[in-house]
Amino acid sequence: MDSSWQPATNSATSLGTKAVVIGASTGGPTALLEILKNLPTLSLPLLVAQHMPPQFVPEFAAYLTHNTEHVVEVGTQNAMITDGHVYVAPGDGDMRVMRDALDQCHLILVPPSAFLKPNIDVLMASVATVYGAGSLGVILTGMGTDGLEGMRAIKSVGGKTIVQDEATSAVYGMGQAVNEEHLADEVLPLSKIAAAISAWSALS
């Protein structure tokens, strides 16, 4: 990795920069589609880690673009992060956010750190580092505990967290893990998550 890449400092918080990061697994594609259909274009980036084989990710991103009002892209190495865009992590490794020496945020793709990929914890922890208290983490339906440590990282820097509730989750595993650790600011049915993201994102 280029030595000029550095983790962000707390300056991200003082500058008021913000980002939404969503983690999902089983049932996630349907949930993400519903959220994006009901979410207005935001003046901030939205980053997604959806457990998915790599060959399906480009088609998934194209499907979301075609069926919503959002620009949805597959994350690429060193891509500059643009407000209003949605970035879906590739399925063959992990995706991180980094801030460079010019205070610009980029995506960094790294080898997989776990069996399930892309790893939600890796993406969320990097968002917490870069965006600080301006981070908004969302855990959707899925099996296991991926995302737990990422949500913990977001809470530790003063960010906000939303978890999809059990009743509307295809599998209430990841959300339950976060909720049982008391790391969720809101536990909501899927139908209310877009409005909650929009409301939190309007706060500066």
Residue 7 belongs to some domain of the structure: no
Residue 2 belongs to some domain of the structure: no
Residue 11 belongs to some domain of the structure: no
* Distance linking the first and last C-alpha atoms of the chain: 33
CA of 159: how far to CAs of 74, 103, 156, in Å? 25, 20, 7
Residue 97 pairs in a beta bridge with: 107
Active site residues: 25, 51, 146
pLDDT of 18 reads 85
* Host domain of residue 100: 19-202
pLDDT in tens, 62-75: 999 999 999 999 99
pLDDT of 103 reads 85
In this predicted structure, the answer to whether residue 8 has a pLDDT above a threshold of 80 is no
- 3-class DSSP state for residue 106? strand
Query: What is the arithmetic mean of pLDDT over 37-64?
Result: 96
Residue 62 belongs to some domain of the structure: yes
Please tell me the total count of domains within the chain: 1
pLDDT in tens, 112-153: 988 889 999 999 999 999 999 999 999 999 999 999 999 999
Please state the pTM of the whole predicted model: 0.91
% of the chain beyond a pLDDT of 70: 91
Residue 6 belongs to some domain of the structure: no
Residue 148 belongs to some domain of the structure: yes
Residue 70 belongs to some domain of the structure: yes
pLDDT in tens, 53-106: 999 999 999 999 999 999 999 999 999 999 999 999 999 999 999 999 888 999
Residue 14 belongs to some domain of the structure: no
Q: Check which CATH number belongs to the domain holding 150 and give it.
A: 3.40.50.180
Residues 6 or more apart from 43 whose CB is under 8 A from it? Answer: 83, 84
